[in-house]
Structure 1
Amino acid sequence: MARFILGDELGNLKTLRYPSAVEGEAPQLKIVHQGSSRSSTRSVQALAVNASEESTIVAAGYSNGSAAMYSLDGDDTIDVLSEWKEPRFKQQYVGLGILPTSRSVISCTANGALRRTNASAGQEADVATLPARLCDWKLSSGGDAFAYGGEEVELSVWNLEQAFASRPPESATPSAAKKRKRNDVLLPGELWRAKNVANDKLGLRQPVHNTSLTFISSTTTSVHDIAVGTQLGHVRRYDTRSARRPVADWEKVAKIGGVKEVQKGLSEHELFVRIAGAVCSIATAPDVLVSAGLDRLVRIHSTFPPQIGQQDRKGEILHKIFSKSVPTVAAWDQHAVEPRNTVDEVEEAEVEETDRLWEEMEDAEDESSSRKRRK
């Protein structure tokens, strides 16, 4: 049974359990944590999920600048591990990440306030400052690097430890010539920075507006392959080992509103793109994809491995679940993955049952033919 975690406009945290086709049960959506009080309302802006051996660690960032870390058990029992508030918070949280080796949460806001918070009580948080006007921030699966992009902010990859250890030097306001030259110089802790694409057909500079990004490397130690969605509707793939400009550029993926979210699939060379519209968030799992919509419906879609010549094939909506409040963000819980051997055992049982039916049919034919001979 797959489990997804959702946040809504009222600050509630919910779990969505989707049983496999073998179990034959209906999806279940329920509230596990009440987020808002009578005096104030806060919506969930960002979610991060990390599966540990004992339970699932969930981090949530809210619209009032507060954030929290929770422990979610297999029976949907949730406990608060730590709560804090970002004093430099402005606009919204653009990214959350949980370090796989420790119970530490990395948070980033739209104005570039980077923070590392540990669940241990009494431990001070590490802070750093990134460029402002950010639209998306992602922590690598290995937890040693992160990437960000935004409005007039090029895609950039940083080392996590060096970002908190380094401090930018204080200097006077640079001139325009020095500022243009400095755009090619990496900041302390910065590993790589993209370069704007070539000018358009009229020779005009193309605006930089990266709205979403994701690491698409198949290994946890590699941070070289990154996919980026833009406000102009492009989906670009960058390889930090080869060039600063994109190695692939898919144009007009979204004609109106731009690309709001890019998610890596679990199959090789699989990428999901959310176009601006009624969908608030998407979450990918091995066999299904969950989307949260402004119409208060949580949809479960079927997925399939991409094949040559069938990139435009669409999945089907398997279920629609109504939510009393608008869901804002969704994430997949890897801790609740159904064991593979259970599915294999069911498939083997079905094959054995089919073979048994064929054998009985052959026996019936033999008996009927022997009766005809006796006559």
Structure 2
Amino acid sequence: MPRFLFGDELGNIKSVQYDPASQETSKSVLKTLHDGTATGRTKGIQKLALNNAGEKSLLSAAHANGAVSTFSLNEDDRLELLHEWKETRIRADQSFIGLAASGGSIFSCTTNGALLMSTLKDDNSGVSHKLAALPSRLCDWRLSHDRQTFAYGGDEVEVSVWDTERAFTSPSESIAMGTPANGGKKRKQSDTLFPGEIWRAKNVQNDFLGLRQPVHNTCLTYISPSTSASQHHLLAGTRLGDMRRYDTRAGRRPIAVFQGIGKIGGVRTVEKGFSEHEAFVSDHGSNVYAIDLRSGNIAYGYKGLSGTASSLAVSPTHLASASIDRYIRIHSVVALPDKVGQHLDKKGTVLERVFVTTIPTVTIWDQEKVTEQVNDDEQEGEDIWEGMKNVGENDDET
């Protein structure tokens, strides 16, 4: 029974648990874990991050007023506020575009490049902070699986990969001012890496008229764990509706460009699936697609959507989407074929729609592994078959 957590525009944090074996009309259970309606839209939730390391599950939330809260998620589904701090470098017209939790640290990033690493003390007595400054006009920020690196992209900001430790030890003033790392001769920004930056993408070739193509990365994600410190695989969506796949060891330009994925308004969000070669994307219309990363083709889309999916969350068995039409949807996930181009016998569908009274802004999977229970009668039948002897060609016929 997968469970998804989501935040909304009023600061509420809720959970939706989907039980496909339920005999009720609705197979989903909606719970309110944190009531934030008293503060209104000033504390609307923009990002959520969950960390299940250790005995407690820690849930972090980034709010519209620049605050970041950390809660303890108890077994009885109660959220207990542990700490809250304020990102003072964010302005009213800016927002959080990245939030991640790893170990005892919470990382947050804003559209103006204010990067913050907040580390909880072992006895929960306080929080220590480290600041870093990245380029502005960012649209998305992601921490790698092993937290050794992070990546970002934005409006006229190419996809970039940074070393996490070096980002917080290098002088942040030169980054904010756009000064080259060597402090020497002035070079084009595209040719000079910032302190802590280990790789930066290069724009695609000019169009057929010889004109430079604009850079507007709207979202990105790591699509596989890093095999080495110098190799990273990333997938980025653009306002033009294209998906660009990068291998940092294969050069600075994308190794593949999947055109026309975002049908309306470009790509809104992208998430890597649990199956190999699988990713899920949404656009600014009402489209959510499963993408085959081997070919860049749309494997299947979900029908019956009436609002833009602003956030996607993937579990091993299901996909959840938070939509501006005030619905949380639970989708089925279909395994991609073994070979490119093979026909899919079935496609993903919308299994459940849960209406909420306020607009959901972000959703995440609660990371709980679910093992399917085996019916005792079915298990007994399997034992009988396993105990039977196979009849071979050399056996005597009766």
| Equivalent residue in structure 1 for 2:310, among 267, 280, 288 | 280
1:28 maps onto 2:29 in alignment: yes
Residue identity in the other structure for 1:106? F
SS in 1 for 2:224: coil
1:41 deviates by 3.6
| Equivalent residue in structure 2 for 1:337, among 369, 388, 393 | 369
For the residues of structure 1 that align with 2:315 and 2:281, how far apart are their CA atoms?
15
For the residues of structure 2 that align with 1:267 and 1:173, how far apart are their CA atoms?
39
Aligned residues of 1:162 and 1:188 also touching (Cα < 8 A): yes
Identify the residue that residue 294 of structure 1 maps to in structure 2: 324
Q: Please list the CA deviations of residues 72-113 of structure 1 after superposition, one character each: whole Å capped at 9, or x if unmatched.
A: 1232121112101111013100000112x3x21000000000
1:38 deviates by 5.1
Identical counterparts, % of pairs: 47
Aligned residues of 2:144 and 2:225 also touching (Cα < 8 A): no
With normalisation by structure 1, the TM-score equals 0.86
Aligned residues of 1:159 and 1:190 also touching (Cα < 8 A): yes
With normalisation by structure 2, the TM-score equals 0.81
The count of corresponding residues between Structure 1 and Structure 2 is: 347
| More moved, 307-316 vs 210-219 | 307-316
Identify the residue that residue 217 of structure 2 maps to in structure 1: 210
Residue correspondence of structure 1 range 11-160 to structure 2 within 5 A: 11-19=11-19, 21-22=20-21, 24=23, 26-37=27-38, 41-90=42-91, 91-99=94-102, 101=103, 103-120=104-121, 121-160=125-164
1:350 maps onto 2:370 in alignment: no
| Equivalent residue in structure 2 for 1:167, among 166, 171, 183 | 171
For the residues of structure 2 that align with 1:155 and 1:249, how far apart are their CA atoms?
14
Aligned residues of 2:12 and 2:32 also touching (Cα < 8 A): yes
Larger radius of gyration: 1
1:276 deviates by 1.1
SS in 2 for 1:45: strand
Distance 1:53 1:42, change over 3 A: same
Distance 1:293 1:232, change over 3 A: same
Higher relative contact order (CA 8 A, sep 6+): 1
Identify the residue that residue 269 of structure 2 maps to in structure 1: 261
Aligned residues of 1:293 and 1:327 also touching (Cα < 8 A): yes
For the residues of structure 1 that align with 2:178 and 2:336, how far apart are their CA atoms?
51
Aligned residues of 2:145 and 2:225 also touching (Cα < 8 A): no
Distance 1:204 1:281, change over 3 A: same
Q: Please list the CA deviations of residues 108-134 of structure 1 after superposition, one character each: whole Å capped at 9, or x if unmatched.
A: 000000001122344431001000000
Aligned residues of 1:218 and 1:268 also touching (Cα < 8 A): no
SS in 1 for 2:215: coil
Distance 1:311 1:303, change over 3 A: farther
- Whichever structure has more helix as a proportion of its residues is 1
Residue correspondence of structure 1 range 354-369 to structure 2 within 5 A: none
- Unmatched runs of 5 consecutive residues or more in structure 2: 286-307, 385-398
For the residues of structure 2 that align with 1:184 and 1:219, how far apart are their CA atoms?
24
1:197 deviates by 0.5
Aligned residues of 2:226 and 2:232 also touching (Cα < 8 A): no
1:182 deviates by 3.7
Distance 1:283 1:32, change over 3 A: same
Residue identity in the other structure for 2:219? S
Identify the residue that residue 186 of structure 1 maps to in structure 2: 193
For the residues of structure 1 that align with 2:4 and 2:40, how far apart are their CA atoms?
29
| More moved, 184-193 vs 29-38 | 29-38
